[in-house]
Structure 1
Amino acid sequence: MFERFLSAMPGGRRRTVYRPPTARRMVAAMLGAALTALWLVPLPAAAQAQAQAKQAQEQVLTWTAGNSVSEYVSAPTTATAGPATLVFENSTETGNTMGMSHTLTFDVSKPGYNHDVDVDILANPFDSNGGRYEVQVDLTPGTYYYFCKINGHTMSGELVVTDDGGGDTTAPQVSGNVSGKQDPDGNYVGSATVTVSANDSESGVDSVEYEIDDTGFQPYSGPVTVDDPGEHSVQYRATDAAGNVSQVGSVSFTVVESAPEDTTAPDVSASVSGDRNTDGAYVGSATVTVSASDSESGVATVEYALGGASYTQYSGPVTVNQPGEHTVSYRATDTAGNTSTPKTVTFTVAEPAPEDTTAPQTSATVSGNQDTDGNYVESATVTVSAQDGGSGVDSVEYALDGQPFAAYSGPVTVNQPGEHTVQYRATDTAGNTSTPKTVTFTVVEPAPEDTTAPQVSASVSGDQDADGNYVGAATVTVSASDSESGVATVEYALDGASYTQYSGPVTVNQPGEHTVQYRATDTAGNTSTPKTVTFTVAEPAPEDTTAPQTSATVSGKQDTDGNYVESATVTVSAQDAQSGLADIEYSVDGDPYALYTGPIVVNQLGEHTVSYRATDTAGNTSTPKSVTFTVAEPAPEDSCPDSDTRDTVIVGDEDTGVDNANTGDGCTINDLIAEDATYANHGAFVSHVNRVTNELMAADVISGKEKGRIMRAAGRSDIGR
């Protein structure tokens, strides 16, 4: 086994080399793991001082990886400037049961981060080191950005390095979590387990304490189980090595008696997700997510097996990135010991697409209250969007009025009066940055005080019978506008009841005559005079059990064989005389059905079949129908339909012996010489032949020698004399 370390290179950079691990570093790695553990057991003061002295002498920062491609299992967040040992372990002990490779790579180019440490460790549970590596570095104050550079992996994070020194005056962070089987009312069945966690990024946690139901604090050494039925409260607190004590936190819960014996196995299901190609294969990797539920004793464990391997504990979505066909078996066991019958999902993983070299697509919109000149009153909000169909968007930035670009984390509001320009750009995870774009707008002061009430109107919609009654239900939609201060509230009252807040269309389904009053108030407090709409709701017609009627036509330019030249347009129609049409769907050449929104243009050459069907609002779907047709290429255009097809070029009565070649558009050399055309004189004909033969030579249709033979024949001819 070897470990890696950094040695100095010109320019302040570091290079990574390997050397055998020493006993001192192995001890330091174990000490670092103990110091970064989440659950802390109080140490005696002397032992704690010794550990702190050891840590000050040599920092050990540990990263671990497992089956996830989206996050490291554990990673440090802070460190102190100076020498440090970086440990990266991707092994079966850290949860990697799939043999997946990961890297720990420190970025040396990303703006805003330290670039003086060059670490790039590739680890696999089955490599010669068993997936565990160490590297020696010198850290400087600032922030380092690290990530896994394997394609499809999105693991990343930041390490903040501070200067050594300064006293710790900040108390630890402490939290509590209650776990256990719960009934539908949220009570814990049989028992509840309280887990307390504490962390301190400065001097470190010294002790954690808890108490149950105000019975007095005592040392916390691990999860606390409460099994007495009734309501309970657990308080907790933590103290760091500098003596700072956290505020007391608490969790409350209720424990109830256990339910009767469970003899039913859990329900278990699985889904496969990921980017898919046109063949349905998952590109680069596929993620299998297993779900299990048990309404009685509760799920105890979920297991899965990849291919023919043994079952292993399922702790989260399983990512498979080896190309080929795969089968994942899965099962679940409840706390009563009932195990479900194993189920399987089968899928195929394909090689990932080529490297992404295309920058993201970006766009921006400006929103806010506008005056009649299009200016934004008081403020304008700029919303930036970015998409990347390759490696995915990594970051979005914006710059206001020529200032430096800053990270975009949400809509940007500008409230300073005047004209403004916002630039924006995006970078994908492959490092491609889009060309900056801009939006320009003007912010103006608000208008004078508003004393005019809003404009308000209402409309009634729904299916109507021949008498104008609304069948089954009527929907009243109220609209309000205010060109000054803007609408604040809209209210309505049904059939003489009190006014209530209007938040969307109001549906009335009680048969009989109804009256809806409505009014609106603007932000200046002006309320409109109430208005009314009156309508009648009638009983709905009998249930619809008949599917819609459908038909389709094919249109486009056709050749003599009835084929459609270059493209064919399929137009689908559907009608439903009862509940009404809900949607129309179509399928081209056996593809999955898609929603039909307008005529379908098919321009791929060959024979095609378009299937179509429709569904009404009652859920009745018509039997699929189809139309079949052929799309053909257009016939080539012939520039010389009455072409001179003699074997050789003949000028006047003289046979030049030159091959009368087709020049590519249906015309021969004799067609281009056009000896039967009208010319002003013989010289004009000779000049015409000279121009034609020059063009034919340039196109490599004739040689210079053949041009000479044609020109001599033209000069000796009587054409144009």
Structure 2
Amino acid sequence: MSRRFIAALGAAVAVLGLVALPASASPEAEPPPAPAAAAAQTLTWTGNDSVTEYASAPTTAVAGETTIVFENSEATGNTTFMSHTLTFDTSTPGYNHDVSLNILANPFDANNGRHEATVTLTPGKYRYYCTIPGHTTMAGEFTVTGGGEDTTPPVVTATITGTQDGEGNYVDQATVNLAATDTGGSGVASTEYKLDDGAWTPYTAPVAVSAIGAHTVAHRATDVAGNVSEEGSESFTVVEGGGGEDTTPPTVDATVTGTQDGDGNFVESATVTVTATDNEGGSGVATTEYKLDDAQWAPYTEPVLVSVLGAHTVGYRATDEAGNVSAEGSSQFTVVADSSDTTPPTVDAEVSGTQDDEGNYVDVAMVTVSAEDAESGVASVEYKVDDGAWTAYTTPVAVNTPGMHMVGYRATDEAGNVSEEGMAHFTVVQQDTTAPTVTGNVVGEQDENGAYVGSAMVTVAATDNDGGSGVASVEYKLDDGAWTAYTEAVQVSAPGAHTVLFRATDQAGNVSAEGSATFTVVTGDVDETPPSVSAVVSGTQNSSWQYLDAANITLSALDTGSGVASVEYKLDGGAWTAYTEPVVVNTAGTHEFLFRATDLAGNVSAELPGSFTIVESGPKPGPDVCPDSDVRDTVIIGDIDSQVANIDIGNGCTINDVIDEDGDWNTHNQFVRHVKAVTKELVQNDVITRALRDRIVTAAVNSTVGTPTSRL
């Protein structure tokens, strides 16, 4: 079977951030010969269809020679044939960096997704993650022990760096660098520092000290066995550069730009650019801030786009490194609608699905609506099915009720112009009359009476093997609550008896019989212990530990009592924000953040700090991995033209290359699943939009690629 699309897509991922694999880990390389003697232990990771976590991963290991197994195959649950990597972090402070491992696995590679590598682990912690764009929340860590009792504390040393004057004082800023080692065998667990009279703080990156005056930094380290080093300390003095004390505030100004009408109003939007300098004071600009109308002061990092219609006032100020604050400036302007746009948008709809010999759609028809407006832009798209109400259009509409249907559609642009109503006519016939099957399961810690202690987890699964149209939705209802879409396991922690109902609906509209599960939750011991919370900052770093272009903040919390209820963070003095996924920061400069966690019993952890610096890097052009590209103007699948531009995806390959319509596809469904998978990654990588992906998938569904006819 041809797998040119796998090679092209794998190369595309490599251009987007993968490190070149060693020959022993390359998916195209032959498996390495068996070693003469087996490694002391084997650690296994597996991947499936999830892009947020590995299917399984180890948490502990012992030091020594180790066989690493990474399997990402159909056998481990990967049914969408997506690629994953197992990559060891060799840059984030606080982890061992002595193992360089980067395995790319795909169910269709030369090893059928199963790869092995032999490494030597040392005591301490290792961090691993997946480098494929969109999969970076797949990350974790494991602890390696020395295999024996460790009673020897670690050793920590401090180094102070920076520009020094003739008396050894640091000019403007000093940077504290800590390094810890552990010869006892269990490995370093944590390193901490305390600046002057401050609190002990986890050390994750070099600490910049710019406050003028004498300073003392204390430091200590703890190993995995709990041994704490003696406290060390270093003293130093920071003096002001520039030839004297800076008492002059910086100067700050703002310009407002954009298209203006005859009255000086800005049409559709205005862009506010703030600039600050500190030429007279000499210490340099530390921060620049702005506030729009009645909003709070916010850090200024890039020009601010204002598109809300009406009169606006923007305030701005700057602070230098010596703490001098400029006078507040302000600019007033008005944003108005584009009255010159009198042309309504154009709107169209496509109907897709399996059709019978008479052109009727079998079980379900998918209606995809698209709109364009070359002037003010599309503001909204709506549709209505038969005599139903107009509804905002966001994703393709599934119509599965048997009979004739009319789907109306229209669009409105930003200037208020409304298109003429379009209409799509089609008929749906039902062949699938068999409802899907649905099952539920309740898991958790149980007492001797079978009651669940603290909480219970309810999982629901549905299949539609007999009907054939496929599961469209799964729902559950807890006690007297409303029916709710089921997307992930449901945790029930309220004490008492509970009943959960569940049902599923297939694409043809058949609804399963309702299943039910009854269980009881009881309270355990009173939880008075707050959760533990940690943060990891990741990204590409230079030799000064600065992150190039962007950094990701990943937070994790653990609570062995009532369980974690929420995790929050606060970035650069902003408001506390609920943490749901890694936070991407791509603004150059030094950033500080706080993080905390709360458990279900209401206990709140201590607020912990972190900081990092981002600098800009230059462009990194990649190789052309598809020199013989399919360069047709649009994405064409079989004899169907999707009308989507066949662009280069960033590595010399075009969209048609990764679609691989000429591959040896066993079934039409297999080809369609492949198209859905690769276009999903193209959307995640910002190569195409969701609307363009829908067009490509519709063309794949309506094509004959993978059918017996196409293989004649």
- TM-score, normalised to structure 2, is 0.29
Larger radius of gyration: 1
Which protein, 1 or 2, shows the higher relative CO under an 8 Å CA cutoff with sep ≥ 6? 2
TM-score normalized with structure 1 length: 0.29
